[in-house]
């Protein structure tokens, strides 16, 4: 029998934002399948409830709880952390997966409001969450934080420029958190997806020409699927990645080789 202790998350508490659908949902499923108790969170409570119910049915009662939260509001994030403590206990794994992109076009034309929303939701909210959760991990001398960035962080875009800026800032945030929290036993890494077939990225792949072009330039010859992110979530949350921190781990089918 194969020993899978390295990936065993039994007894771990995992909090994931943006996890009621898409990649976040898949990551929550993966963590629960390996023994963790997971908090499913996004803006809409009914979607959180639905996902948590499906995880509980697949992995056993009590495997998931649903707590709605809009990451743009500090008080809602604090409530998310407080409710996690109340319902499950101290947090071992944090995945900041929620993000926004309300603007598609040149950065020369982006309204201040849209710019602020992108930067505040995609970067500042992750710092807020890390600060709220870190005390749990510091007390245990161990923990894992992952923030979803993007391969868009590695280059410019004529239509997604501010989003890409925010995702590069997330990598910088990860490196600084890794530097400061490393001595406390906390690992902090970024997950950088390529083009994945989710509702969030639908405008980039949901037409035959765009999908054909993306498939042709991807060495593995397909777009990403949400389930492709189960493994990276389990890896980063488990003892298998005990000596990995401050990294931008690219999950892209080979489109970005660094």
Q: How many CA atoms lie within 13 A of 206 on its CB side?
A: 7
Query: Which residue, among 33, 34, 32, has the nearest Cα to 15 in the 3D structure?
Result: 32
Q: Is-catalytic flag, 73?
A: no
Number of compact structural domains in the chain: 1
Assess whether pLDDT exceeds 60 at residue 205. no
Domain presence at residue 183? yes
Are the beta carbons of 152 and 163 closer than 8 angstroms?
Answer: yes
List 65's β-bridge partners, or say none: 39
Domain presence at residue 257? no
Domain presence at residue 57? yes
Domain of residue 156 covers 5-251
Domain presence at residue 258? no
Lowest mean pLDDT among 97-111, 142-156, 179-193, 197-211: 197-211
22: left (phi over 0), alpha (psi -120 to 50) or beta: left
Catalytic-labelled residue, pool 73, 103, 115, 163: 163
Strand blocks (E) in 74-199: 93-96, 143-148, 186-193
Domain presence at residue 218? yes
pLDDT of the residue at 209 = 76
Our separate counts of H helices and E strands in the chain read 9, 7
pLDDT of the residue at 207 = 73
CATH number for the domain harbouring residue 164: 3.40.50.720
150 token code pair:
């993007």
Q: Mean pLDDT across the stretch 224-237? A: 96
Assess whether pLDDT exceeds 80 at residue 213. no
Please tell me the pTM assigned to this model: 0.94
pLDDT digits (tens, 9 = 90+) for 15-55: 999 999 999 999 999 999 999 999 999 999 999 999 999 99
Assess whether pLDDT exceeds 90 at residue 136. yes
Domain presence at residue 232? yes
Domain presence at residue 141? yes
Are the beta carbons of 195 and 215 closer than 8 angstroms?
Answer: no
DSSP state of 122: I
Domain presence at residue 158? yes
């Amino acid at each position: 029998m194969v020993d899978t202790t390295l990936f065993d998350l039994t007894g771990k508490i995992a909090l994931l934002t943006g996890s009621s659908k898409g990649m976040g949902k898949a990551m929550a499923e993966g963590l629960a399948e390996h023994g963790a108790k997971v908090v499913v969170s996004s803006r809409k409570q009914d979607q959180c409830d639905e996902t948590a119910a499906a995880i509980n049915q697949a992995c056993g009662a009590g495997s998931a709880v649903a707590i709605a939260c809009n990451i743009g509001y500090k008080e809602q994030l604090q409530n998310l952390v407080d409710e996690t403590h109340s319902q499950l206990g101290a947090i071992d794994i944090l995945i900041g997966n929620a993000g926004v992109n309300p603007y598609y076009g040149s950065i020369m034309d982006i309204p201040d409001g849209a710019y602020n929303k992108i930067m505040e939701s995609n970067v500042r909210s992750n710092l807020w969450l890390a600060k709220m959760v870190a005390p749990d991990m510091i007390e245990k001398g161990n923990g894992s934080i992952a923030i979803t960035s993007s391969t868009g962080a590695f280059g410019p875009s004529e239509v997604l420029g501010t989003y890409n800026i925010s995702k590069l800032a997330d990598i910088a945030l990860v490196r600084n958190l890794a530097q400061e929290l490393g001595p406390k036993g906390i690992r902090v890494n970024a997950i950088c997806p390529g083009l994945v077939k989710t509702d969030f990225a639908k405008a980039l792949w949901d037409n035959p020409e765009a999908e054909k072009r993306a498939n042709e330039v991807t060495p593995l010859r397909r777009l990403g699927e949400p389930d492709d992110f189960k493994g990276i979530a389990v890896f980063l949350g488990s003892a298998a990645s005990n000596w990995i921190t401050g990294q931008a781990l690219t999950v892209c089918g080979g489109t970005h080789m660094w």
